[in-house]
Structure 1
Amino acid sequence: MITRRNFIVTTGLATTAVLARPSLAFSMSKKEIGLQLYTLRDELPKDVKGTLQKVAKAGYSTVETYGFSTKDQFWGFAPKELKKILDDNGLKAVSGHYNLGSFLYDGNTAEVSAAIEAAKTVESEFLTISWVDEPFRRNIEDYKKIAERLNQAAKMCKEAGLKLAYHNHDFEFERHNGVTGFQILLKETDKDLVFFELDLYWVIHSGNDPLKLFKENQGRFKMWHVKDKDKKNNDLNTEVGSGTIDFKSLFAEAKQSGMVHFFVEQENNFAINSFESVKSSCDFISKNLI
C-alpha cells in the first residue's frame, strides 16, 4: 500500500509512537483515499476523462467503479480504455460495483463471467455486488438463496484471481422472524471467500452499530463506504466531517474490521457542487482520520 509518510529511520521512535497511539499503526500503512464514482454519476458519463482528472487532483488515489454493462461498458469506454485513463491519472480501480441481478435470481453465470472479465481488465482486487431488488429479498429463504449464490460467485472470482464482496444498504437489517438478512448473509457465506463492503452510513441509518459488527465479525469487512449523515436531515448525506457520524472511533477499529480499502461516497445534498464536496471529504479524511 502506498503511503504519504516518509520512512521513519529511527525504529525505536516509531515504535514508541505506535504504542502511545494504537490507531497510528493503521494510519501509517493505509494512506490511500478512495472514491465511489457513483458520487459523480451526473458528471462522469458526460466527460469521463475530465472527471477522473478532477478526482485525482482532489487527492484521491483509488476509485470504485459502477455501472458496467456489456452494452455500454464503462460509460462508453471499454475496460481496457478505462484502465488507460485511470493509469494516466495515477488512479487504481481497486473495486467495482457490478449488478449481478439475473445470477442472484436464476443462477445464470453469464453476467458473472462478463463482470469478472471487466474487473480483471481494469486490474481490480474486488468484484462487489451492489444491490438486490426488493422482490428477491423478502424472507429468510430468499437471503439463504442469495448467500448460496454469493458462495458460487466467490469461487468463480477466486479462480480468476479476484475477491468477491457484498455491499449493504439498510434493507439487509430488516428482521425476518427475529433474524436480519445481514445475519443470514454473514452466517451462510464462506468467510474465506465472501467479504463485505460495509456502508457505514446505512448501518447507522438502520439503527445498528458498526463497532459491534466489527467485534462480532472480525476481519470480514474488507472495505467501507464512508459517507456522513446530515445534521438537519438524517435521511440525507453530507460531506465527511460535516455530519453526525463519529468516524474517528470507527477508523480506530479499522484493523479489527479487516478494512483494506475505503471509499468516500455522497449520493445527495452537495454543499456547493459534487466536485467541491468530494474534495472537502478527502481533505477532512487526510487531516483527521489517517
Structure 2
Amino acid sequence: MINRKTFLQQAGMMSAGMMLMPGLLSAKTNRPFGLQLFAFREQLPKDVKTIIPKIAQAGYKQVEPFGYSKTNGFWGLSAVEFRKLLDDNGLTAPSAHYSLDTFLSSGDTTQVEQAIEAAKILGQKYIVLPYLGEQFRNSAKTMEDTINKINLAASTVHEAGLKMAYHNHDFEFKTVEGQRLFDMLLNNTDTEQLNFELDIYWVIRAGEDPLKLLKTYPGRFKLIHIKDMDKTNPVLNTEIGTGSIDYKTILSKAHSAGVKYYIVEQENFKIDQYLSIQKSISYLKEIG
C-alpha cells in the first residue's frame, strides 16, 4: 500500500517530469474528424448502405451529409433509416448541408422546417447553408435581401434548439458594388444564431489567410472544412498532408479560435477514393 509520504514523493516526481517534458501537456487532441459525404456523390445514390460502413472502417467517427429532401431523404433512406445506418456503424452527423434555394427564392419556410426535422432525427447541432447561387448575390441589394432571409432562417433554426452555419467558397471574398459578401455576412448576422463553416481550401484559393480570419473572428467559425490543394494544379484537391496547405499550423490554432468540428472534404481524386480518405485521416491523426 502506498502511504501519504510515498504518494507525495511520486506526485512530485511526476510534476517534475511534466516540467521536463512540456510536450506531454500539449498532447494530441484526438479530434473526431468527420468526412463530407460529397466525396462519394456518385456512389451514394447507388449503394449508400455499402459506402457508409467503409467510411467508418477508414477511421472516421463523423460524417457530414448533403442533398436531403423530404421526398428522397438521404439517398433513398428516410432520416430515421439513415440515422440507424449511422448508429450501426458508430458514426454521428453533427452537421449537414441543406439546400435552402426555394426558401431564399420565395420566402416559403417549408424547406427550413424540413431541414430542422431531419436534423433533429439525426441528432445534429448544425444546419449548414452550403452555397449561394449567383441569383442571390448579384447586387448589393440582392445580397442585403438574401442576408435578411438567412437571418430569418437562422432565427427559426435557433428557436428549434439548433444552430445554423454558412459554408464559404471563394466568391464571398469578391466585391459587388464595393461590398464584400463575406464581410456583409459576418457583420450583418447574429453571432448567437449564425456561425460559419470555414472552408480552408476556398479561403486560400481566394487569396485570403485562414489564420487571420480565425484570429480576427474568434468563436465565429465553429466548423472547418479540411481539404488540401494540389501543389501543381491549385484547382485540384489532394490528400491531406500531400498538398500545399499547412494544416499542421492551421489545426494547432483552430481549437483556441473556437473550432469544434473538423470535416475532411475532397471533391476530386487521382487515386482510389477509399485509399485517399484513409491517407487523409491517417495524416490528421498523426498531427493531432
Distance 1:192 1:129 in 2: 16
Q: Deviations over 1:113-132 (max 9, x none)?
A: 01110111111110000011
* Cα distance in 2 for residues equivalent to 1:14 and 1:271: 46
For residues 271 and 187 of structure 1, the distance between their equivalents in structure 2, rounded to whole angstroms, comes to 39
Deviation of 1:17 after TM superposition, in Å, equals 8.7
Residue 218 of structure 1 pairs with residue 198 of structure 2: no
Q: Does structure 1 conserve the Cα–Cα contact (< 8 Å) formed by 2:31 and 2:262? A: no
**How far off is 1:13 after superposition?**
7.5
Q: How does 1:221-260 map to 2 (within 5 A)?
A: 221-260=221-260
Question: Does the residue aligned with 1:93 lie in a helix, a strand or coil?
Answer: coil
SS of residue matched to 1:63: strand
Seen in structure 2, the aligned counterparts of structure 1 residues 216 and 18 have a Cα distance that, compared at 3 Å, is: farther
Tell me the distance in 1 between the aligned counterparts of 2:219 and 2:201.
19
Letter in 1 for 2:274: F
Q: Over aligned residue pairs, what C-alpha RMSD do you find?
A: 2.0
Q: C-alpha separation between the residues in 2 aligned to 1:147 and 1:203? A: 20
> Equivalent residue for 2:97?
97
What is the match of residue 282 of structure 1? 281
Q: Report the TM-score when normalising by structure 1.
A: 0.90
- Give me the whole-angstrom Cα distance separating, in 2, the residues matched to 1:116 and 1:157: 7
In structure 2, give the amino acid aligned to 1:46.
K
SS at match of 1:92: coil
| Structure whose residues are more often helix by fraction | 2
Do the aligned residues in 2 keep the contact of 1:221 with 1:259 (CA within 8 Å)?
yes
More off after superposition, 230-239 vs 148-157: 148-157
Match of 1:267 in 2: 267
1:198 aligns with 2:193: no
* Percent of residue pairs bearing the same amino acid type: 43
Q: Deviations over 1:149-199 (max 9, x none)?
A: 222111211222211000011111111243310000000000111000000
| Gap regions ≥5 residues in structure 1 | 1-9
Q: Distance in 1 between matches of 2:105 and 2:175?
A: 21
- Does the 8 Å CA contact 1:107/1:149 hold for their aligned counterparts? yes
* Greater mean alpha carbon deviation, residues 276-285 or residues 148-157: 148-157
Q: Higher mean Cα deviation, 150-159 or 117-126?
A: 150-159
Do the aligned residues in 2 keep the contact of 1:215 with 1:256 (CA within 8 Å)? no
Closer, same or farther in 2 for the Cα pair 1:51/1:16, shift >3 Å? farther
What's 2:71 paired with?
A: 71
8 Å contact kept, 1:34–1:262:
yes
Distance in 1 (CA, whole Å) between partners of 2:48 and 2:96 is: 16
Structure 2 distance, partners of 1:185, 1:151, is 10
Structure 2 letter corresponding to 1:86? L
For residues 181-218 of structure 1, the C-alpha deviation after alignment (integer angstroms, 9 at most, x for no partner) is: 00000000001110000000000001000011111111
Match of 1:145 in 2: 145
